[in-house]
Structure formats: C-alpha cells, structure tokens
C-alpha cells in the first residue's frame, strides 16, 4: 500500500479505552485523516474533547461538506450518519439507523471504501452489535487494509466476531498491538 488515503475506525461497547490508547500512541505527524464512529448515547458529544486530551493532533467533530485534511482526527456527530463524498468532503444524513445505530459504522466504512478503495485502513474494535462487519468486508474486498480487535481481548466480542465470520482480515490485533502497530503503519515503517 502507498500512503493511506484515510483511516476509518469503528467500535461500540468496550471500544472507548482501546480507542484512547490508539490515539495516545499516534505519532505527532500522520499522513492522512482518521475518521471515527463510536456508538454512544445520543446526548454525549464530548468524545472529541476526550480524545483531544490524548494527542497533539487536532480532534474535532466532522461537519457537513467539510474537506478531510491529513493529520486531523474526525468524530461523527451524535445522531447523524457520517459519509465521505468522492470530492473528499464529509456529508451527514438522518437516514434511518443501520443495525439500530446512527451514526452507523457500515455507512462510514462503505462510503470511505467508495472513495479510497485499496488506499484505506479500516479498524473494527470491541462492540455489542454487528454494525461495521459488512463495511469492513467491503474494504477488504476492495484491497484495503483491515484490522480487527481479537474477540478474546474485546470487552464485548460480538462486533469483531461478526467481521471474522465474514472474512479473514489483514491483521488481528490485541489492544496493545492496535496502539503500537497502527502507529507504525502510519509512520510508514514496516510492522
């Protein structure tokens, strides 16, 4: 893979601590944007602040029509689906929930795959629903890099297990490996 076009990360129950560890380990300069969908109660909008405390990289809630910029970590706003347009900008929608979730990981993953194809890294973490599995499979089918948290290490294994039932991801990592190796992948060094 050349320089990745984007990293997309999805998770649900039990994903927050892993995500914080991943963000904490990221190098101060990364060559692409990182986009995150985590299922949270609709009123909680503090995820950007929470992650921002872990890194010197800019962390913000994604806005409609905003261009994706390398080095920035974007969070889906509560109660909206987050999509990526072929122009490299975000779009929001209030279309019905997917797997009972809005934002849905599948919606982000599928639209990201349409834009970045094989130059995409998709990461699926701990979670209590099957959201994200089909989207990650699409990233896999397009030749992108797919990373799944090991079900044994996940607080709730349903989400990673759903992905593994569909395909064999590029990497199957524990939280420690997720933090260190994703960081290496983004620094351009060999794993």
Partner 1 sequence: MRLEISEPEIAQLLEIIYQRYHYDFRQYAAASLKRRLQQALTHFRCATLQQLQDLLTSDESVFPRLLEYLTVQVSDLFRDPEFFLTLRQQVMPLLATYPSLKLWIAGCSTGEEAYSFAIALAEEGLLDRTRIYATDINDGSLRKAQKGVYPLDRMRQFTMNHRAAGGHGSLSDYYHASHDSAVMSPTLKQHITFADHSLATDSIFSEVQLVSCRNVLIYFDRLLQDRALGLFHDALCRRGFLCLGTKESVRFSAYAQRFQELSPEQKIYRRVD
- Asked if 83 is part of the footprint of partner 1 (rule: CB under 8 A), the reply reads yes
Binding mask 148-187 for partner 1 (x = CB under 8 A): ----------------------------------------
- Asked if 107 is part of the footprint of partner 1 (rule: CB under 8 A), the reply reads yes
Task: State the nearest-atom distance from the C-beta of 40 to partner 1, in Å.
Answer: 16
Q: State the catalytic residue, choosing from 106, 131, 140, 181.
A: 131
Which residues are within 8 A (CB) of 70 and not within 5 positions of it... i.e. 6 or more apart? 30, 31, 32, 33
Stretches 9-17, 21-29, 89-97, 171-179: which one binds partner 1 (CB under 8 A)?
89-97
Q: Find the distance separating the first CA and the last CA of the chain, reported in whole Å.
A: 13
Q: Which of residues 7-36 bind partner 1 (CB under 8 A)?
A: none
Residue count, binding to partner 1 (CB under 8 A):
24
Q: Residue 34 in contact with residue 9, Cβ under 8 Å?
A: yes
Among the listed residues 4, 55, 67, the one whose alpha carbon sits nearest the alpha carbon of residue 26 = 55
- Asked if 86 is part of the footprint of partner 1 (rule: CB under 8 A), the reply reads yes
Q: Which residue has the tokens 């969070």?
A: 75
Applying CB under 8 A, among 44, 56, 95, 117 the residue interacting with partner 1 is: 95
- Asked if 40 is part of the footprint of partner 1 (rule: CB under 8 A), the reply reads no
CA angle 57, 59, 62 (to 5 degrees): 140
Burial class (CB in 10 A: 0-12, 13-18, 19+), 126: buried
Q: Which residue has the tokens 């993953």?
A: 109
Q: Which CB, 85 or 177, lies closer to partner 1? A: 85
Q: List the catalytic residues.
A: 12, 39, 131
């Amino acid at each position: 893979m050349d320089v990745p076009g984007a990293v997309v990360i999805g998770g649900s129950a039990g994903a927050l601590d892993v995500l914080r560890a991943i963000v904490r380990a990221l190098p101060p300069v990364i060559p692409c944007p990182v986009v995150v969908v985590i299922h949270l109660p609709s009123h909680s909008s503090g995820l950007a602040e929470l992650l921002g405390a872990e890194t010197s990289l800019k962390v913000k809630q994604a806005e409609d029509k905003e261009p994706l910029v390398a080095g920035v970590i974007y969070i889906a706003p509560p109660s909206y689906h987050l999509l990526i347009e072929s122009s490299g900008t975000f779009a929001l929608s209030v279309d019905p929930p997917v797997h009972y979730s809005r934002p849905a990981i599948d919606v982000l993953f599928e639209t990201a795959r349409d834009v970045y194809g094989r130059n995409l890294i998709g990461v699926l973490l701990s979670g209590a629903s099957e959201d994200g599995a089909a989207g990650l499979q699409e990233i896999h089918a397009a030749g992108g890099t797919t990373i799944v948290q090991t079900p044994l290490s996940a607080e709730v294994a349903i989400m990673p297990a759903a992905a593994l039932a569909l395909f064999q991801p590029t990497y199957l990592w524990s939280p420690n490996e997720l933090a260190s190796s994703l960081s290496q992948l983004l620094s351009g060094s060999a794993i």
